[in-house]
């Protein structure tokens, strides 16, 4: 059973576009369906982590909104961070699912028990993950991943009961 999901941000939680305004402020688009899936996963008693190579106040804000307590930003060696997190949570790698979309996610995706990439993930990642999703990054890919994991964990009733 998957107990922890690990999320990349740009290209998975977002469409990968980074928008700067004239005053150098940054903006990102997040999908509310991804957010509901993530918050429900947490309310079911599971863990969520974000491991991302960039540093962004926007990502911190989104993580806080969703109740994600394991947030790692500015990470260049995400598999090292993942190993430390799995050990600290007393989990096994087969209990971890992850989503990534580009080469910097390669090693991390090869460590976990269940790996995913959005439909628009790069071909090198698509060739090594368990599942290429039907949704693009930022367009419901994370929610699709969570729905698959809920079904595989046989927890659909528990997922639904959070809201109904």
Sketch the domain layout of the chain as residue ranges. Answer: 4-42+56-156
How far, in Å, are 30, 56, 97 from residue 145 at the CA level?
A: 15, 24, 9
Q: What is the pLDDT of residues 47-75, one digit of tens each?
A: 999 999 999 999 999 999 999 999 999 99
Do the beta carbons of residue 77 and residue 53 sit within 8 Å? no
> Options 3.40.50.1000, 3.40.50.10300, 3.40.50.2300, 3.40.470.10; which CATH number does 4-42+56-156 get?
3.40.50.1000
Do the beta carbons of residue 101 and residue 78 sit within 8 Å? no
CA–CA distance, 123 with 39 (Å, rounded to integer): 30
Helices (H), the chain: 32-43, 57-66, 78-88, 106-111, 123-126, 141-152, 156-161
Report strand pairing: 26-27 vs 19-20. antiparallel
Instruction: Note the pLDDT of residue 24.
Output: 86
Q: Model confidence at 18, in pLDDT bands (50, 70, 90)?
A: confident
**What percent of the chain has pLDDT above 90?**
94
Q: What is the pLDDT of residues 69-90, one digit of tens each?
A: 999 999 999 999 999 999 999 9
The predicted model scores a pTM of 0.95
| Region 125-142 average pLDDT | 98
How far, in Å, are 62, 85, 127 from residue 68 at the CA level?
A: 8, 14, 29
Report strand pairing: 96-99 vs 4-7. parallel
Assigned token pair, 88 = 């600290």
């Amino acid at each position: 059973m998957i107990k922890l999901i690990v999320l990349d941000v740009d290209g998975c939680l977002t469409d990968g576009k980074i928008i700067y305004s004239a005053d150098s402020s940054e903006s990102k688009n997040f999908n509310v369906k991804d957010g509901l899936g993530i918050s429900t996963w947490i309310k079911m008693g599971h863990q969520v982590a974000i491991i991302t190579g960039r540093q962004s106040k926007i990502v911190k804000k989104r993580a806080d909104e969703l109740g994600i307590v394991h947030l790692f930003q500015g990470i260049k060696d995400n598999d090292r961070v993942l190993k430390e997190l799995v050990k600290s949570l007393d989990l096994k790698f087969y209990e971890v699912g992850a989503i990534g979309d580009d080469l910097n996610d390669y090693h991390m995706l090869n460590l976990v028990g269940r790996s995913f990439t959005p439909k628009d993930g790069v071909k090198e990642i698509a060739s090594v993950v368990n599942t290429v999703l039907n949704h693009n990054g930022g367009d419901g890919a994370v929610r699709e991943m969570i729905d698959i994991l809920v079904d595989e964990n046989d927890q659909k009733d528990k997922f639904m009961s959070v809201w109904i």
